[in-house]
Amino acid sequence: MPFLGAHMPTSGGLHLVFDRIAAVGGEALQLFTRNQRQWAGTSITDAEAEAFAAGWKRWGREHIFAHASYLINLASPDETLWRKSASALAREFIRCARLNIPWVVLHPGSHKGAGRNDGCIRAAACLDMAFEEAGDQAGDVGLLLENTSGTGTALGADPEDLAEMISASEHALRLGICWDTCHGFAAGHDPRHQDSWAEVTSRLDRTVGLSRLQLLHLNDSKTPLGSRRDRHEHIGLGEIGFAGFSTILNDPPLAHLPMVLETPKGSDLAEDIENLNVLRGLLKAVPEENL
C-alpha cells in the first residue's frame, strides 16, 4: 500500500508539522523549511533541529520531504538570478541535512525564451553548482525534480525534460523525480484510464527510470487535460476524478511510494482528513495469496 500524507504548514515552528500530520492520520509528510516566497532563508538553529528530531520520533514515520522555494529558477538565462538560485538551493540542502530530511523537491524552472535544450543544460549546471556550494554540509541530501504543467516556457512538462537534466548533471546519483498528478494532467498525461496511465508510466520508465520516482503529489485538477494550467482541486472533485486516482493508487509499481496532498485547506485541516479518507477508500484490498 502507498504511504499517504500531505504537505503541512510550519506556522509556530517546524516541529509542529508532526502534530499536524498525526492529526490527519498521515503516513508521509512534506513541508517548507523556510518561507517559500523569500530568498533569505536562514539556517536551522540547534533548538529547531532538536525540536524537529523529537517531533519526528513521536510521529514515528519515515517519509519526509522538503519543498524548495518557488523563487528558484534552475534554467534562468539571467546570470544573477541563476547564481542566486544555486545559492538558495545550496542553503536548502544544508537546512535539510541539519533536519535529516533526505529529499528536496523542486520545480525545474523556465528557460524564458532561451529554448528547451539550453534550459535543460543550464538547469543541470545550476544543480551541480548548488551541490558543490553546499559541499559536505549537505550530507547525502538529494533532489527530486518535479514535473510541471508546462505553462509558458516552464520546463518539466514531459519526462524527457527531466531525463535530460539528470543525464547532464555531474551529480545524477543524487537526483530523482516527483510526479504531480495535477501538473501531469494539465500537461496532457492522462491517468483516468488504465491504458493511458500505462503509457505515462512506461514513458517515465524509458526516460528517467521508475526507480528514480520517489514521491507523488496527489492533486486533482480544476482545468482540463492538456490545459497547461496548474490549478489544484480536492480529490475527486476535479477533471481527474475518482477513476484517475484509483488507477494511480492501485498501480502495483507505485504501491511502495509515499504520496502527499497539496490541496487547499483551512487551519483545522478538515480538508486533508476528507481527502485522505477518499484516497484510502479508493485503495483495493490485496488478495491474501499476493501478500
For the annotated binding site for Zn(2+), the residues are: 67, 107, 146, 180, 183, 217, 230, 232, 262
- Intra-chain end-to-end CA distance of the chain, in Å: 11
Residue 215 near residue 146, CB atoms below 8 Å: no
Residue 37 bears catalytic tag: yes
Residue 146 bears catalytic tag: yes
Residue 200 near residue 189, CB atoms below 8 Å: yes
Residue 262 bears catalytic tag: yes
From the list 7, 34, 107, 122, the catalytic residue is 107
Residue type, 279: L
What is the spatial distance between Cα 83 and Cα 50, in angstroms, rounded to a whole number? 31
From the list 48, 158, 190, 230, the catalytic residue is 230
From the list 27, 161, 164, 180, the catalytic residue is 180
Residue 239 bears catalytic tag: no
From the list 160, 205, 262, 271, the catalytic residue is 262
Residue 67 bears catalytic tag: yes
CB atoms within 10 A of CB 287: 7
Annotated binding site: 67, 107, 146, 180, 183, 217, 230, 232, 262
Residue 63 bears catalytic tag: no
From the list 20, 63, 67, 95, the catalytic residue is 67
Nearest to 204, CA basis, from 258, 260, 161: 161
Cell of 80: 544573477
Residue 108 near residue 144, CB atoms below 8 Å: no
Q: Please list the residues that pair with 6 across neighbouring strands.
A: 29, 261
Q: Is 237 exposed, middle or buried (0-12, 13-18, 19+ CB in 10 A)?
A: middle
Residue 183 bears catalytic tag: yes
Residue type, 137: Q
What is the spatial distance between Cα 29 and Cα 261, in angstroms, rounded to a whole number? 9
Q: Which residues are catalytic?
A: 37, 67, 70, 107, 146, 180, 183, 217, 230, 232, 262
